């Protein structure tokens, strides 16, 4: 069957049997403006390099500084690993956007999409774990070190990876390369093909993505940070009552700190919603188009939502690392240690270069 590219590049089109429905995902054919593919590819690659660079700094500080090895930062470490793995898919997606057709092979068709689902949801649930840890520490006033040892954190992080891997395992099997003929030209694309039957697998998948990949995490994170915000307000009122005679400079300093805390809490929730809601909306709209026989969602809608999601690994290091005053102090400690080590090495006699190793 022959299709126009305007139909192929939208929410769905029927296969040769007029019953199987396909979506082209990362592939798009015969674009009216060729520059769009280059713009998308350049944006994705820039986001990839920025994110990897930032998250490597986060990992380096945590591994080098013993003071940085807190419970929360262990979770941040797991988040950084998920960020790097997720955004590493960007160059491959950029390549597909440039070529249109899928030339990466059937194995990569299975692995790339499955890995993106697993890594993105691992990132999301690690952020949930961080919010829970902060809630217990701040609201319940229970020290993390009294509750969790590093081995416990390892089990929690491993459990997150294992759970997301199992939840999205079907996508590893049901993503396949499909080939179509359009005006004598064959196009190949990687798409999700669910088995036929009475069970609506696509509906179940979309519902799971909506609930487990966005809805439930947003609710948990919002509740935890709202409780922290309430605790902060109560503490603020108590401090204001006791220290009414505080100096102007002290009051201004406290207000700046309060403003920073409130801003951080709001940003954590708002940015999470902004980064991941577009992906959920696109999948939901594709499902809605299929159910109602409409064909309105363009294939580049998924790419735009994915680019927004790629922003999250760039912003996570800022929100969970560089905006953390304790983390900044750890970076400063690492720098001072490095400077001292360099100074000691330069001061040592040239004939004893190995002695610097033991300083």
Mean pLDDT: which of 110-114, 193-197, 341-345 is highest?
Answer: 110-114
For residue 182, what pLDDT band results from cuts at 50, 70 and 90?
A: low
Residues of the domain holding 197: 5-243+250-334
In a domain, 36, yes or no: yes
- Asked whether the CA dihedral 230, 236, 239, 244 is positive or negative, the reply is negative
User: Over 80: is that where the pLDDT of 160 sits?
Assistant: yes
Give 147-159 pLDDT, tens digit per residue.
Answer: 678 888 999 999 9
Of 100, 103, 114, nearest to 40 (Cα)? 100
For residue 92, what pLDDT band results from cuts at 50, 70 and 90?
A: very high
- Asked whether the CA dihedral 76, 78, 84, 90 is positive or negative, the reply is negative
In a domain, 73, yes or no: yes
Q: How many domains does the chain have?
A: 1
User: What is the C-alpha to C-alpha distance for residues 280 and 147, in angstroms, rounded to an integer?
Assistant: 35
User: What is the C-alpha to C-alpha distance for residues 299 and 297, in angstroms, rounded to an integer?
Assistant: 7
pLDDT value for 52: 96
CATH of the domain at 33: 1.20.1070.10
Burial class (CB in 10 A: 0-12, 13-18, 19+), 168: buried
In a domain, 90, yes or no: yes
Of 158, 149, 168, nearest to 82 (Cα)? 158
In a domain, 293, yes or no: yes
User: Over 50: is that where the pLDDT of 18 sits?
Assistant: yes
Partners of residue 177 on adjacent β-strands: 190
DSSP letter at 21 equals E
Average pLDDT over residues 171-191: 82
In a domain, 355, yes or no: no
- Give percent of the chain with pLDDT exceeding 90: 32
pLDDT value for 208: 87
In a domain, 275, yes or no: yes
In a domain, 351, yes or no: no
Of 160, 167, 115, 162, nearest to 133 (Cα)? 160
Give 230-255 pLDDT, tens digit per residue.
Answer: 888 777 666 555 555 455 555 566 55
User: Which three-class secondary structure state does DSSP give residue 178?
Assistant: strand
User: Over 60: is that where the pLDDT of 355 sits?
Assistant: no
In a domain, 342, yes or no: no
pTM for the structure as a whole: 0.81
Q: Cβ contacts of residue 162 below 8 Å, gap of 6+?
A: none
């Amino acid at each position: 069957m022959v299709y126009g590219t305007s139909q192929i590049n939208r929410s769905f089109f029927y296969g040769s049997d007029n019953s199987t429905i396909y979506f082209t995902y990362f592939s798009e054919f015969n674009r009216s403006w060729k520059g769009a593919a280059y713009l998308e590819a350049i944006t994705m690659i820039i986001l990839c390099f920025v994110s990897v660079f930032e998250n490597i700094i986060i990992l380096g500080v945590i591994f080098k500084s013993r003071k940085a090895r807190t419970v929360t930062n262990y979770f941040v470490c797991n988040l950084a690993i998920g960020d790097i793995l997720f955004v590493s898919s960007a160059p491959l997606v950029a390549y597909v956007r440039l070529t249109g057709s899928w030339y990466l092979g059937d194995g990569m068709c299975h692995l790339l999409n499955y890995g993106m689902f697993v890594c993105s949801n691992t990132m999301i649930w690690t952020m949930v774990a961080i919010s829970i840890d902060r809630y217990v520490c701040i609201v319940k006033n229970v020290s993390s070190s009294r509750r969790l040892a590093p081995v416990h954190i390892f089990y929690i992080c491993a459990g997150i990876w294992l759970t997301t891997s199992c939840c999205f395992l079907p996508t590893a099997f049901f993503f396949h390369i499909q080939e179509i003929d359009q005006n004598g030209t064959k196009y190949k694309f990687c798409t999700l093909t669910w088995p036929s039957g009475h069970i609506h697998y696509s509906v179940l998948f979309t519902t799971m993505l909506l609930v487990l990949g966005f809805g439930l995490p947003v609710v948990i994170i919002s509740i935890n940070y709202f409780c922290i915000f309430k605790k902060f307000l109560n503490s603020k009122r108590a401090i204001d009552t006791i220290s009414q005679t505080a100096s102007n400079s002290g009051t201004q300093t406290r207000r700046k700190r309060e403003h920073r805390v409130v801003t951080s809490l709001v940003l954590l929730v708002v940015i999470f919603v902004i980064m991941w809601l577009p992906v959920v909306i696109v999948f939901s709209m594709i499902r809605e188009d299929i159910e109602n026989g409409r064909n309105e969602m363009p294939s580049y809608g998924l790419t735009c939502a994915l680019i927004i999601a790629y922003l999250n690994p760039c912003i996570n290091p800022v929100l969970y690392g560089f905006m953390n005053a304790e983390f900044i102090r750890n970076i400063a400690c690492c720098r001072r240690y490095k400077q001292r080590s360099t100074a000691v090495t330069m001061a040592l006699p040239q004939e004893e270069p190995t002695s610097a190793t033991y300083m």
